[in-house]
């Protein structure tokens, strides 16, 4: 069994590390203290992503992407995850369902998105529908060669910088017909209800959008009527692996900072790492990170080797659950080791501690991941999680 990273893997890792350290990290404090970056800075960051060849890493070169393997994407997202304030989000990953688009949709949406000429946001969650997608009430009513979309969506991340929206709606009010639609951000009837403020400082916004009788042509159906839930599940595999990798990066940065501080900070005549209470916290952080990294890399590698779709979905839930909860524990210890300094916003561990909290919620809460895992256990047995897969 060869667990080494090859030259191409290491090159992608180094490229992402250099980008994070030289492009993203310099903007952390400005973003934290002001709450937003100027549009000119966002435009500069978008150009930097392309210049560094990090655009569309999850799509093939034939559509303008980089053709990275799932493991390479994991290595990249781990490095980017070390940046606070979700600055990793400036590196866009066009949604996986776009691969199922028509030739015209790929030309007009996927390729420009990979190249950085367009950007999407995804609208699924509603005031009364989150984990329970069966409760979605946004409708798309067929009227001749048009659909009329009406409803309200919450937590539409990056809606402020997107120029089109992938909307999850129910066709003709039939809950068995969940469908994705491509809606231009400036279409008549797309209304920003508000932009709530959240625990973390985020480089982009999370809008609440109202769709007030928004008309789109039948050619804006993505992947076929009734395919919305299945396409969203496939997207969740990528999204959950990305979150797991980002969590790894956040935990590693916090661990390294805490370890360095524990060697420098002297109390009672000795570095605080000499105190067993601190030493044990550092040891636990090391174990948790090593275990999570092994798990995330393994699942990414399995997907690259053609893992069964349902198996990949189950394992993505495992790594998302474990990595997000691991990051919370590691960040809590890092803040504790820094003491009062760990509670100052100028300290990366304080910002990261707020950043990673949402990772236990979005793209499926920890509780939903446990439901998925439990369901797979009931259907397929323990071997799904205790076996070894190439």
Indicate whether 382 and 244 sit together in one domain: yes
Indicate whether 102 and 189 sit together in one domain: no
Positive or negative torsion for Cα 99, 101, 104, 109: negative
pLDDT at 2: 77
Tokens of 22: 């030289």
User: Of 226, 253, 287, which marks where a domain is finished?
Assistant: 226
- Is residue 1 included in any domain, yes or no? no
Mean pLDDT computed over every residue of the chain = 96
Indicate whether 33 and 128 sit together in one domain: no
Indicate whether 131 and 262 sit together in one domain: no
Structural domain total, the chain = 3
Q: What's 143's domain CATH number? A: 2.40.110.10
User: Of 175, 199, 226, which marks where a domain is finished?
Assistant: 226
* Cβ–Cβ < 8 Å for 12, 75: yes
- Is residue 325 included in any domain, yes or no? yes
Residue 348 has pLDDT above 90, yes or no: yes
pLDDT at 388: 83
Pairing of strands 164-171, 120-123: parallel
Indicate whether 378 and 235 sit together in one domain: yes
The beta strands (E) that lie in the chain are given as 120-123, 139-143, 146-157, 164-171, 178-184, 190-194, 206-217, 221-222, 266-267, 270-271
Indicate which residues carry an active-site annotation.
363
pLDDT at 390: 58
Indicate whether 83 and 125 sit together in one domain: no
Contact residues for 159 (Cβ-Cβ < 8 A; gap 6+): 121, 123, 165, 185, 192, 204, 205, 206, 207, 209
User: Of 82, 115, 148, which marks where a domain is finished?
Assistant: 115
pLDDT above 70: percentage of residues in the chain: 99
- Is residue 102 included in any domain, yes or no? yes
- Is residue 78 included in any domain, yes or no? yes
Residue 1 has pLDDT above 90, yes or no: no
- Is residue 2 included in any domain, yes or no? no
- The whole-angstrom separation of Cα 217 and Cα 219 is 5
Does the pTM of the predicted model rise above 0.75? yes
**pLDDT tens sequence across 60-71:** 999 999 999 999
SS3 state of residue 250? helix
Range of the domain at 153: 120-226
Q: What's 37's domain CATH number? A: 1.10.540.10
**pLDDT tens sequence across 86-131:** 999 999 999 999 999 999 999 999 999 999 999 999 999 999 998 8
């Amino acid at each position: 069994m060869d667990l080494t990273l090859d030259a191409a893997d290491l090159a992608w890792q180094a490229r992402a590390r250099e980008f994070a350290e030289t492009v993203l990290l310099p903007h952390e404090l400005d973003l934290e203290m002001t709450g937003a970056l100027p549009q000119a800075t966002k435009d500069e960051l978008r150009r930097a992503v392309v210049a560094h060849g990090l655009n569309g890493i999850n799509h093939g070169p034939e559509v303008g992407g980089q053709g990275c393997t799932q493991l390479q994407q994991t290595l990249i997202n781990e490095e980017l995850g070390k940046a606070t304030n979700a600055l990793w989000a400036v590196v866009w990953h066009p949604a996986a369902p776009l691969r199922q688009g028509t030739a015209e949709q790929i030309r007009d949406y996927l390729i420009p998105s990979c190249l950085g000429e367009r950007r999407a946001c995804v609208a699924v969650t509603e005031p009364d529908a989150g984990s329970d997608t069966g409760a979605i009430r946004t409708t798309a009513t067929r009227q001749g060669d048009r659909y009329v979309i009406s409803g309200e969506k919450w937590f539409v991340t990056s809606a402020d910088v997107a120029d089109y929206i992938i909307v999850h709606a129910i066709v003709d009010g039939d809950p068995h017909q969940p469908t994705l639609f491509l809606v231009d951000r400036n279409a008549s009837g797309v209304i920003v209800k508000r932009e709530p403020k959240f625990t973390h400082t985020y480089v982009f916004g999370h809008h609440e959008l109202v769709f007030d009788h928004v008309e789109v042509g039948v050619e804006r159906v993505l992947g076929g009527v009734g395919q919305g839930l299945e396409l969203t599940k496939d997207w969740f595999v990528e999204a959950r692996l990305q979150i797991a990798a980002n969590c790894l990066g956040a935990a590693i940065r916090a661990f390294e900072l805490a370890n360095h501080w524990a060697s420098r900070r002297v109390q009672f005549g000795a570095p605080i790492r000499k105190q067993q209470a601190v030493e044990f916290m550092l040891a636990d952080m090391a174990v948790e990170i090593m275990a999570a990294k092994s798990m995330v890399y393994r699942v990414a590698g399995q997907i690259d080797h053609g893992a069964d779709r349902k198996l990949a979905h189950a394992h993505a839930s495992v790594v998302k659950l474990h990595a997000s909860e691991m990051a919370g524990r590691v960040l809590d210890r890092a803040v504790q080791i820094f003491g009062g300094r760990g509670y100052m916003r100028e300290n990366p561990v304080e910002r990261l501690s707020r950043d990673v909290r949402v990772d236990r919620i979005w793209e499926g809460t920890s509780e939903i991941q446990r439901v998925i895992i439990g369901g797979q256990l009931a259907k397929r047995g323990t071997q799904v999680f205790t076996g070894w897969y190439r």
